[in-house]
Amino acid sequence: MNLRNYKWILALLALLLIVVTPHNFITLFFMRCVVCLTFLVFFLEFRRAENRLQIFSFVCLALAIIYNPVIPLWFPKFIWAGINWGASAVLILCIIMGIKPKPGS
């Protein structure tokens, strides 16, 4: 199984964790780890991709910072709800768009 298949599994797991799980402390920490890792992987891939995808690299980096488990950011629940749905939309866009590396990389 190549790395591309792992990215799909990681992204789908992150999407499920964002939207459908109750958010107790353990789930929240695990979700932050998986989602942060997912957005970091997409950030690195979009940085190597075609120029039209460069803006998505910064969006993925911002979401990785928001979801980082080392120095967590705390927002009210209604703001987290919006961030979660927005992050879900970004993950769906990342999956749909796919990643095409630059020639020669």
What does the pLDDT look like over 37-74, one tens digit per residue? 888 888 888 787 766 667 778 888 999 999 988 888 88
> In this structure, is residue 28 part of a structural domain?
yes
> In this structure, is residue 102 part of a structural domain?
no
Provide the domain count of the chain. Answer: 1
CA angle 71/82/92 to nearest 5° reads: 90
Are 38 and 11 contacting, i.e. CB atoms less than 8 angstroms apart? yes
| pTM for this entry | 0.71
How many angstroms separate the CA atoms of 41 and 38, rounded?
5
> In this structure, is residue 73 part of a structural domain?
yes
What does the pLDDT look like over 4-43, one tens digit per residue? 566 666 777 766 766 666 667 777 788 788 888 888 888 8
> In this structure, is residue 104 part of a structural domain?
no
Query: 42-80 burial, b if ≥16 CB within 10 A, otherwise e?
Result: bbebbeebeeebeebbebbbebbebbbeeeeeeeeeeeb
End-to-end CA separation in angstroms for the chain: 21
Q: Which domain holds residue 13?
A: 3-97
> In this structure, is residue 88 part of a structural domain?
yes
